[in-house]
Every structure is written in C-alpha cells, then in structure tokens.
Amino acid sequence: MNDKCKKIMECLSDYLDGEMSEELCEMVEKHVKECEECMCFVDGLKTTVQCLQSLPADKIPENIEKSVLENLKKILFE
C-alpha cells in the first residue's frame, strides 16, 4: 500500500457517507478504479455498510442509554 492509498483510506468514511466534495469524490473514484487493492477494500467496505444498514435497529434500554450519556458528559465536560 503506497502513500496515495493510505490517504484514500483516511477519507473513505467521508466518501461513503457522501460528505466529500465532488472534486475529491472524483479523485477517490479515479484512484479506486486504477488500484485493485483499494477497489477490493472499498467493495468490501460498501458490502459491510449495506449489511449493517439492513439489520433491524434495536432500542437501547433507557437505563443503559442514560448511564452511557452521563458517563460521556463526565468524560467530556469534567
């Protein structure tokens, strides 16, 4: 994996989430088309995201959600 591949990997989340400028998207897509290693990685990541999105969303029990939020507040603001 070369430096360009590493830079592509760092921004894949923004790319897949649609949070990247059109110009950067085109650059990522061009590289992925030309790089088999990155193409395989992106395809696997897209498949993983699709599988996760197809899972039913479970409701977190209220007591656990409250506990997590309280702990986060302590960590972030105290």
**pLDDT one-digit tens code per residue, 12-56:** 889 888 899 999 999 999 999 999 999 999 999 989 989 998 999
The domain segmentation of the chain, as residue ranges, is: 3-77
Band (58; pLDDT cuts 50, 70, 90)? confident
- Kindly give, in sequence order, each residue whose CB lies less than 8 Å from that of residue 40, ignoring residues fewer than 6 positions away: none
Q: Checking phi first, is residue 2 left (phi over 0); if not, alpha (psi -120 to 50) or beta?
A: beta
Confidence of residue 1 (pLDDT cuts 50, 70, 90): confident
Whether pLDDT at 60 is above 90: no
pLDDT band of residue 57 (cuts 50, 70, 90) is confident
